[in-house]
């Protein structure tokens, strides 16, 4: 073929490819009676060669479907309580708290620590700036008797005093300096007056000692007062709770921080060096709470049921005993004075162990001969009896056996 003819063929083929006529006609045949349309514009040779389908230049806009907004549902809140649900019961026990502002803070701590006892209520009757020195400001021996007479449900009382008592005591026209000899005698008498107000009504008294203070001189004076509180409370049948060691460091000095009831280091005292923080008051209440629970455990919760009295000589029933008569009867029994009341015989307690009987050898005079004889007869004679006599009679251990726990030979036999 001539070069000119070959060139014409190639040029015709390129023309066909550039126009896309045969491909468009082959893919979209024109029906009879219709004019063929021009090929779409913008179709490149590269797209036609690789047969990439073209996109329509006119995009039909389809209407969007409007979707209703989703409604948010409020989630149901489920409250999980860690504290146990305590059923409502009648409050039968009142814990009376008296004293100064430290007593009021301990009362708040007791309300938290005794929260699991629905039958116990804390009655806070603390008086700020009060003490045993200024009876003209507040007379605690008199107020204690009035509070006990007004509340019959008081089962235990708590008192905290001391920081406000470093003042002179007036005795008529004479004034006595703090911690002088006469001052201490008068102060001790007032402590005994408060303690006797509770012992007369048989209400247990818990006297809480004052904690150490930031002022070194005040702390030194409080150690003397705490010793008087201890002696006066114990003399009246009460108990003394010492808080000193819970608020000092390893060198027995005042510290404002320390471990709380959970063992975490926290601030226990306020900036004035006297009062408690909430954590410090809760810690002080913990030591008092232990004593209160011991007292409440010994207190019967059931109502007292009076037993029928024996009839008199005429056959008429005797009058029911009164509470005062029962208290006098208890006092007579405690003091050892004989009474005419028929007492219920006390069942003797069973011993922890019976008489010790030897397995071998002679029988003691107080032993049960028949029982020993039956035991010896049951054991029999022969090698078993000889082995028992060797172990229990002579104290010689038996020979170890391989595989037994007493086989300590080394190396172990294979």
For the stretch 334-345, pLDDT in tens is 555 555 555 545
Do 245 and 127 share a structural domain?
yes
> Is position 155 within any domain?
yes
Q: Is the pTM of this model over 0.85?
A: no
Q: Mean pLDDT throughout 128-140?
A: 94
**Of 12 and 289, more confident:** 289
Do 377 and 313 share a structural domain?
no
Do 308 and 256 share a structural domain?
no
> Is position 262 within any domain?
yes
Do 289 and 212 share a structural domain?
yes
In the chain, pLDDT over 90 holds for what percent of residues? 46
Confidence of residue 403 (pLDDT cuts 50, 70, 90): confident
Q: With b meaning 16 or more CB within 10 Å and e meaning fewer, what string describes 167-202?
A: eebeeeeeebebeeeebbeebbebbbbbbbbbbeee
> Is position 271 within any domain?
yes
Question: In sequence order, what are the residues at sequence separation of 6 or more whose Cβ sits closer than 8 angstroms to the Cβ of residue 137?
Answer: 129, 130
Range of the domain at 388: 361-397
Confidence of residue 308 (pLDDT cuts 50, 70, 90): very low
Residue 96: is its pLDDT beyond 90?
yes
Longest CA pairwise span in the chain (Å): 166
Question: In sequence order, what are the residues at sequence separation of 6 or more whose Cβ sits closer than 8 angstroms to the Cβ of residue 405?
Answer: none
CB atoms under 10 Å from CB of 123, counted, come to: 15
Distance CA 9, CA 3 (A): 10
Residue 57: is its pLDDT beyond 60?
no
Distance CA 64, CA 55 (A): 21
Residue 260: is its pLDDT beyond 60?
yes
Residue 373: is its pLDDT beyond 50?
yes
Residue 123 three-state SS: strand
Do 314 and 198 share a structural domain?
no
pLDDT in tens, 6-28: 778 787 777 766 665 554 444 45
> Is position 76 within any domain?
no
> What does the pLDDT read at residue 37?
53
Confidence of residue 172 (pLDDT cuts 50, 70, 90): confident
Q: Mean pLDDT throughout 270-298?
A: 94
Do 136 and 284 share a structural domain?
yes
Q: Mean pLDDT throughout 254-278?
A: 95
Q: What distance lies between CA 130 and its chain's CA centroid?
A: 32
> Is position 67 within any domain?
no
Distance CA 382, CA 147 (A): 83
Do 334 and 194 share a structural domain?
no
> What does the pLDDT read at residue 31?
56
> Is position 34 within any domain?
no
Distance CA 210, CA 162 (A): 6
Q: Backbone dihedral region of 347: left (phi > 0), alpha (psi from -120 to 50 degrees) or beta?
A: beta
Domain tally for the chain? 3
Q: With b meaning 16 or more CB within 10 Å and e meaning fewer, what string describes 78-109?
A: eeeeeeeeeeeeeeebbbbbbbbbbbbbbbbb
Residue 224: is its pLDDT beyond 90?
yes
Q: Mean pLDDT throughout 248-275?
A: 94
Sign of CA dihedral 13, 15, 18, 20: negative
Distance CA 395, CA 358 (A): 14
> What does the pLDDT read at residue 387?
76
Do 226 and 311 share a structural domain?
no
Q: Backbone dihedral region of 51: left (phi > 0), alpha (psi from -120 to 50 degrees) or beta?
A: left
Confidence of residue 303 (pLDDT cuts 50, 70, 90): very low
Q: What distance lies between CA 14 and its chain's CA centroid?
A: 97
Do 258 and 286 share a structural domain?
yes
Do 376 and 325 share a structural domain?
no
CA angle 62, 63, 69 (to 5 degrees): 135
Distance CA 106, CA 122 (A): 10
Over the chain, what is the mean pLDDT? 77
CA angle 19, 20, 21 (to 5 degrees): 90
> What does the pLDDT read at residue 216?
93
> Is position 81 within any domain?
no
CATH number of domain containing 293: 3.40.50.1110
Confidence of residue 393 (pLDDT cuts 50, 70, 90): confident
> Is position 157 within any domain?
yes
In the chain, pLDDT over 70 holds for what percent of residues? 59
Distance CA 24, CA 35 (A): 14
Picking from 5-19, 130-144, 251-265, which range would have the lowest pLDDT averaged per residue?
Answer: 5-19
Do 365 and 267 share a structural domain?
no
Q: Mean pLDDT throughout 315-341?
A: 58
Do 328 and 255 share a structural domain?
no
> What does the pLDDT read at residue 314?
55
């Amino acid at each position: 073929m001539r070069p000119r003819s070959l060139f014409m063929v190639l040029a015709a083929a390129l023309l066909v490819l550039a126009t896309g006529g045969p491909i468009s006609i082959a893919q979209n045949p024109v029906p009879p009676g219709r004019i063929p349309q021009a090929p779409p514009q913008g179709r490149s040779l590269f797209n036609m060669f690789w047969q990439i389908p073209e996109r329509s230049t006119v995009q039909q806009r389809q209407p969007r479907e409007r979707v209703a907004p989703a409604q948010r549902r409020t989630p149901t809140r489920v409250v999980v309580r860690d504290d146990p649900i305590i059923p409502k019961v009648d409050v039968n026990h009142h814990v009376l708290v008296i004293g100064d502002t430290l007593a009021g803070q301990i009362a708040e701590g007791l309300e938290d620590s005794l929260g699991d006892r629905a039958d116990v209520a804390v009655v806070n009757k603390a008086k700020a700036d009060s003490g045993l020195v200024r009876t003209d400001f507040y007379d605690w021996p008199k107020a204690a008797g009035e509070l006990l007479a007004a509340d019959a449900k008081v089962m235990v009382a708590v008192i905290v005093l001391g920081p406000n008592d470093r003042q002179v005591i007036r005795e008529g026209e004479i004034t006595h300096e703090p911690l002088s000899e006469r001052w201490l005698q008068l102060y001790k008498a007032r402590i005994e007056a408060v303690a006797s107000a509770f012992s007369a009504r048989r209400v247990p008294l818990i006297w809480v000692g004052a904690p150490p203070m930031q002022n070194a001189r005040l702390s030194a004076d409080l150690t003397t007062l705490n010793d008087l509180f201890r002696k006066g409370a114990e003399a009246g049948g009460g108990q003394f709770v010492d808080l000193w060691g819970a608020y000092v460091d390893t060198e027995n000095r005042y510290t404002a921080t320390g471990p709380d009831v959970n063992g975490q280091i926290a601030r226990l005292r306020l900036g004035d060096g006297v009062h408690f923080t909430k954590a410090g008051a809760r810690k002080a209440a913990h030591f008092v709470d232990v004593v209160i629970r011991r007292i409440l455990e010994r207190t019967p919760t059931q109502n007292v049921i009076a037993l029928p009295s024996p009839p008199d000589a005429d056959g008429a029933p005797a009058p029911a005993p009164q509470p005062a008569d029962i208290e006098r009867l208890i006092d007579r029994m405690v003091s050892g004075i004989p009474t005419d009341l028929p007492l219920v015989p006390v069942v003797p307690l069973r011993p922890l162990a019976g008489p010790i009987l030897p397995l071998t050898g002679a029988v003691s005079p107080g032993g049960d001969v028949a029982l020993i004889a039956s035991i010896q007869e049951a054991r029999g004679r022969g090698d078993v009896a000889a082995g028992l006599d060797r172990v229990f009679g002579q104290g010689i251990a038996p020979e170890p056996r391989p595989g037994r726990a007493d086989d300590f030979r080394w190396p172990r036999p294979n």
